[in-house]
Amino acid sequence: MNTSKASATEDPGPRLLRVNQYLEKNFPDFFAEARFHVGDDDYFLYSRFGQYLARSIEGNRAPRNKINRGFTVLNKMARVSTRHPAVRGMMISGPLEHIIDAPKARELARKRLNPVAQGLLESLCE
């Protein structure tokens, strides 16, 4: 299959390989189920992850270390987003959108996210 140069530069998938590996290692059940439902679409994978993390925080359903690893995923994604606008857009309209809609998750995110992710989160609040 031929991939045009434009789509190759806009596709965030390869740039998120290390983040995907971290997500798969630390959230194997979530990762397997999400990949089953959304295939290789990283946009929907990370959107579902943001929803999963926000629900886990709001419902007090996850241990602290699991939540911390969830924020590590978002921090890693934010670092990639500084070099790749497609990842930045995916992060804003995906996981951070779910975090911002959950009061407990939003408050915890303000403490746990790195400065890059904080800036993206704050841009959603405006």
Return the closest-CA partner of residue 125 out of 97, 95, 85: 97
pTM: 0.84
Q: What is the pLDDT of residues 69-81, one digit of tens each?
A: 999 999 999 999 9
What angle (nearest 5°) sits at the alpha carbon of residue 25, between those of residues 23 and 26? 65
**pLDDT tens-digit series, residues 17-76:** 999 999 999 999 999 999 999 888 999 999 999 999 999 999 998 899 999 999 999 999
